[in-house]
Amino acid sequence: MTDATELRLRTEEFLAAHPPASTDRGDFLKARFDAGLAWVHYPEGLGGLGAPRSLQAVVDAELEAAGAPDNDPRRIGIGLGMAAPTVLGFGTEEQKRRFLRPLWTGEEVWCQLFSEPGAGSDLAALGTRAVRDEASGDWIVNGQKVWTSSAHSARWAILIARTDPEQPKHRGITYFVCDMTDPGVDVRPLRQITGEAEFNEVFLTDVRIPDAHRLGAVGEGWKVAQTTLMNERVSIGGMRIPREGGMIGPVAKAWRERPELRTHDLHQRLMKLWVDAEVARLTGERLRQQLVAGQPGPEGSGMKLGFARLNQEISGLEVELLGEEGLLYDDWTMRRPELVDFTGREAGYRYLRSKGNSIEGGTSEVLLNIVAERVLGLPSEPRTDKDVAWKDLAR
C-alpha cells in the first residue's frame, strides 16, 4: 500500500518532470491527474493511486510548497464535491474515463439539475419527465429546474428525472448526465436579494440524452442521488478553514481594529459565536477524518445545519456592530458570478447572502429531520404518500 514516504517521492519526481514555473497550467493539471496525484484515494487511471484518502494532504503540501497551480476548486466545486463521487460510485468505466479527468482539471464545469419549483424540500416529488425513445434508445427530457448554480457556465449537469409515474415518488426516478449545450436547454438568471444572479432556472424542452449518459439503473435514481446529496452537504458545511476563517474572521478583525464600536453586550455575543465557529471548524476536521474510512453519511447534514445558523447569526452581529456602515453595499448590478464570495465583500452583502444558507443544499427543516431520524434514531415522521404512485399524488 502506498505510504506517505512513497507519495512524497512520487510528488518530487513529478515536480522534477513538470516544473510549475515553466509548465503550462493546463498541461500541469492534466499531467498531475495522469500521475495519480489529483485525488489519491481514487483508483489508478482515474486520477488516483488507490491510496488512503488522508494521504492527499501529503501531496497537496508538497505541491503548494513548490508553487504548483491548483484546479481552482471553488469554481468547479459542484463537479468535485457532487458529480465526481457519484460518477465514481455509479458510472461505467467508460463514463469514469470520459468525465472525471476534464472535471478535475476544470476544463468542464458542472451544475446540478435537482430542485424544481414544486419539488425543493420534497425533492422526490419532482415532475421533470424522461421518456425513452424506443427507436434510438435515447431519453427525451421535459421539465423545469430551479436554483441551479453555475448553469450559465456549465458544460455538463447531473440530472434526476421521473421515468415511471406509476411508481411511488422515490422509486420512479432515474439519474442522468445532461449536456448543457443541447438546444433544448434554456438557462435564465434568477436575481437574488443581493442583486446578483448567482442562481438560474433551467427549462428543458425535448432534451435528448443518450442512454450511455445514464448513471445507475433505470428507476434507481433516488439511490444514486443520495450519494450526491450526502457529498453536497459535506462540501457545503464541512469545508476546511483555518482558525477565524469564514464569516467569523471579518467580525473579529473589526472588533480588534475598531474599539469605538465595542459594547459589553456585543462582546458577549461575539465570544459565544467565536466559540461556536471554532467548535464547528474542529467538528468539520473530525468529519473529514471519518470520511477517510468510508462514504459520507447523515453527519454532513448536521454540519450543514450548523454552517447555515452560524453564518446568519455572525453576519447579523457584524451588521449590528458596524451600525449604519454595516448597511453599505457597493454594487447592486445584476452580475453573473461563478463564485460566491462570503468574506471578500461588504458586511451588507454577507448579511443578505447568508439568508440563503438555510435553503441551499437542503433546507434546514429537512436536515433537522435527517439528523433526528438517522443520527439520533428518533421515530420517523408519518409519510402518507410513501407508497402512493406519483401520478396519484395531489399537486
The helix/strand/coil state of 131 is: strand
Show the cell assigned to 70. 491548483
Q: What is the C-alpha to C-alpha distance for residues 304 and 238, in angstroms, rounded to an integer?
A: 7
The helix/strand/coil state of 238 is: coil
Of 105, 101, 151, 161, give the one whose Cα is nearest residue 128.
161
- The continuous run of DSSP H or E covering 141 comes out as strand 139-145
- The continuous run of DSSP H or E covering 188 comes out as strand 185-190
Catalytic residue ranges: 232
CA 245 to chain centre: 19
* Residue 138, CB-side half-sphere exposure with 13 Å CA sphere: 10
Q: What is the C-alpha to C-alpha distance for residues 276 and 69, in angstroms, rounded to an integer?
A: 33
Q: What is the C-alpha to C-alpha distance for residues 303 and 246, in angstroms, rounded to an integer?
A: 14
Q: At what angle do helices 264-291 and 248-257 cross, to 10 degrees?
A: 150
Q: Are strands 110-113 and 156-162 parallel, antiparallel or unpaired?
A: parallel
Give residues with Cβ within 8 angstroms of 69, minimum separation 6.
20, 25, 28, 29
Burial class (CB in 10 A: 0-12, 13-18, 19+), 164: middle
Residues paired with 115 in a beta bridge: none
Q: What is the C-alpha to C-alpha distance for residues 322 and 387, in angstroms, rounded to an integer?
A: 53
Show the cell assigned to 74. 471553488
DSSP single-letter state for residue 379: P
